[in-house]
Structures are given as C-alpha cells and as structure tokens.
Amino acid sequence: MDNEKIKSYRIGVNSGIIYACYIEKNWAGEHFIEDFGITYLLEGTYTVTDNNKTNVFRAGDMLFYRKNQLAKFVKQPAENGIFRGISIILDKDTLWNFSKQYHHDNLAAAMRINAVTRIEPNVLLKHYFDSLEPYFETQISDELIALKKQEAIILLLQSNPELKNILFDFSMPGKIDLEAFMNKNFKFNVEIKRLAYLTGRSLATFKRDFEKTFQTSPNRWLQQRRLQEAYYLIKEKKQKPSDVYLEVGFESLSHFSYSFKQHFGQNPSSIT
C-alpha cells in the first residue's frame, strides 16, 4: 500500500496514541494483540474475527482490545472512500504505573470476553477522543502524553469498572494443551515465538513439545495444516483461492498458489 492510500499519525514517538486513515480496504499484518487498547471508529467499518466468530463494528463504535489474543482485522472505508479511527495503546508499563498510583491491587477473577469487544461510547469518552485530534498536529511533551493515557484509563474504568480485573492482571500465560491450541489457532498468521508465549512456553520448549506432539516442526505443520484447510474450502465449500488464502493464514496469493501446487501437484484454481 503506498503512502497516498494510508496516513497514520502519532502523538509523539511511540506514544501509543494513534490516528489512522485509509482510502482503500486494508488487512492488518500480524494477528497477535500484544497490548490492551481502545479504538474509536470515526468512519468506515472494522471486521474482527476471533475464535471463529466474526463481528462488524461501525462508525461511532468504541472497541476494547484484550492483550495476548489472536484475531484477524479488516478495515473497510465508508461510502466516501475513507476509513478513520483513533486508538490508544495501553502498554504494560502504563498500566503498571497506573495500578500503583491508584492502588488497583485487589483483583477478582477476570471475566471472559472476546479479543475485541464493543464498549458503551459514553459522552465523556467521546469528548476525550474528540479532544485528541488537535494534538496530532503539534508536538507535546511526554508528561502530557502520559496524562492523556491516564485520562483514557480513568474514563474507561468509570463506565466499565469490571475491566480493572483484566487490565491490571500482570500474570504470564500458563502452560496449556499444545495440540488443542494449535488446531484451534493455526489460521492466525503470527510468529512462532508468539505461539510459544501464548501456550506458556519458551521458544525452545515449544519447539521440543511440538516435535513430540506432531512429529514435525511448527513451520512445516502450519503450512501443511493451512493447505489442507484451503483444499477443503475450495473443494467442498466452493470458495475462490483469492478468498481463501488470507483466511487460512497466508500473506500473499502468489505464495499460497505456489505452496498449494508444490503440495497437491495442481493449482488451486484447477480444483473442482
């Protein structure tokens, strides 16, 4: 995508306060949500798929992202050809400092929510996001950036107090069943180190456990599993290769087509 088709501004370097504007359909890159975040959609639609469930969010919606989750995103411009949104990334350091300052230590069990969920766009949060737009046009201090992120957390918790049990849980993912996790999440295009982390393993332990479980390497298994799923979708569900390759975790149609032919001996377009 060239620079004329996407504009992204940050308040300060690596501030985690981002204004994004697209003028064509866009698929996000990696499917791993590393940090908590809030997004206010100004124009366009935002389609999110996680755990085989798809939700469509529209202009005026406010979204909450849960960290350490896998999801796929598609940003679709509105009828005027523009997609716009403002996002606040709530990184671990910001949340840790906030929890100590405001004594958010006694947590209850966190509720189960989707990787991305809609939150009520109350008046104060709307005004907060509206107030950010002028900041993208000027330089502001790190201290003011920190205050604006603190303000976002306060307003979020005021309208959604139950989220504190999620936001301030700083524990690491625990070790989980590897086979079940991989069969559930093989379509997500993420680095192997991310998968290792989400299963509660170091990269070395993940590779060792993977070899014991699947008798092959993670990269080889992922490619074969994605190709098998692609074959099923094309053959049985009559889907087009151009619609399938992203769904099963490939980054480009050309790489998918080459890998498919290498594995099955024929082009995906020839499957009937």
Confidence of residue 120 (pLDDT cuts 50, 70, 90): confident
Give me the pLDDT at residue 228, please: 98
CA distances from 205 to 6, 185, 198 (A): 40, 19, 13
| pLDDT of 26 above 50 | yes
Q: Tell me phi and psi for residue 148, to 5 degrees.
A: -65, -35
Give me the pLDDT at residue 34, please: 94
**What end-to-end distance do the CA atoms of the chain give, in Å?**
33
Average pLDDT over residues 95-109: 83
Q: What value, to the nearest 5°, has the Cα angle with vertex 199 and ends 195 and 202?
A: 80
Confidence of residue 142 (pLDDT cuts 50, 70, 90): confident
Asked if 23 contacts 5 with a C-beta cutoff of 8 angstroms, the reply is yes
Asked if 173 contacts 33 with a C-beta cutoff of 8 angstroms, the reply is no
Question: What is the dotted CATH code of the domain comprising 6-167?
Answer: 2.60.120.810
Give me the pLDDT at residue 5, please: 58
Give me the pLDDT at residue 221, please: 99
d(CA 183, CA 176): 13
d(CA 104, CA 19): 29
Query: Which amino acid is it at 188?
Result: F
Q: What pLDDT digit, counting tens, does each position of 7-18 carry?
A: 666 665 557 899
Average pLDDT over residues 81-102: 94
Q: Identify the bridge partners of residue 36 per DSSP, sorted by sequence position.
A: 90
Hunting for tokens 């480009």 — which residue is that? 252
* Residue 254: CB atoms within 10 Å: 10
Average pLDDT over residues 224-241: 97
| pLDDT of 2 above 50 | no
Q: What b/e sequence results for 177-210 when a residue is b if at least 16 CB atoms lie within 10 Å of its CB, and e otherwise?
A: ebeeebeebbbbbbeeebbbbbbebeeeebbebb
| pLDDT of 52 above 90 | no
Q: Where in the chain is the domain with CATH 2.60.120.810?
A: 6-167
Among residues 222, 218, 264, which one has the least CA distance to residue 241? 264
Mean per-residue pLDDT over the chain, rounded: 91
d(CA 158, CA 171): 24
Q: Tell me phi and psi for residue 6, to 5 degrees.
A: -145, 135
* Residue 217: CB atoms within 10 Å: 13
Confidence of residue 141 (pLDDT cuts 50, 70, 90): confident
Q: Where in the chain is the domain with CATH 1.10.10.60?
A: 178-270
pTM of the model: 0.88
Give me the pLDDT at residue 245, please: 95
- Considering only residues 111 and 150, tell me which one the structure prediction assigns the higher pLDDT: 150
Give me the pLDDT at residue 4, please: 47
Question: What is the dotted CATH code of the domain comprising 178-270?
Answer: 1.10.10.60
Kindly report which listed range (13-22, 24-33, 167-176, 256-265) carries the lowest average pLDDT score.
Answer: 24-33
